[in-house]
Amino acid sequence: MRADTRAVSPAVTQALTIGVSTILITGLLLAGSSFTDTKRDNTVRQGLQDVGSGLASDLVRLDKFDTAGVADNISFSSEYPDRIAGEGYRVHLVEGADRATIHVNSTASNRRTQVRFRNDHPVCESTVPGGQLTVAYDVTRGCLEVRSA
């Protein structure tokens, strides 16, 4: 007489189906979270770059002013986001040998960017948090700077 093995087949099939499904779903979840992290990194980097480029443009525009004989500070404000992708950031303006540099650094992660620009007036080193910022020519010190508005 033959042994009956029919009861084993459905149990093995179901176990294999559950195992393969678990592996596929886990793979999809891992790939999805990696995709989300990459998109977030790109969003933060692009946001920091946009802030740096905007400030560089403002400073170059201010640098073109003829400040000879000016008695008062010259300044104007620009509105930038307080946070980029939920992260705060700081702006650091530094004088360089041939160009000034704006460093824009995220406070929550290790993301950062820098924008260099040519300037005729000296730059006063300054560090400010993100948000509404003012670029100014300080008559007393004779330099360009970034301030919190």
Domain boundaries in the chain?
A: 8-148
pLDDT tens string 99-136: 999 999 998 888 899 999 999 999 999 999 999 999 99
Cα 124 to the center of its chain, rounded Å: 23
The neighbouring-strand residues paired with 128 are: 91
pLDDT tens string 46-80: 999 999 999 999 999 998 888 787 888 889 899 99
Q: Are the CB atoms for 115 and 52 separated by under 8 Å? A: yes
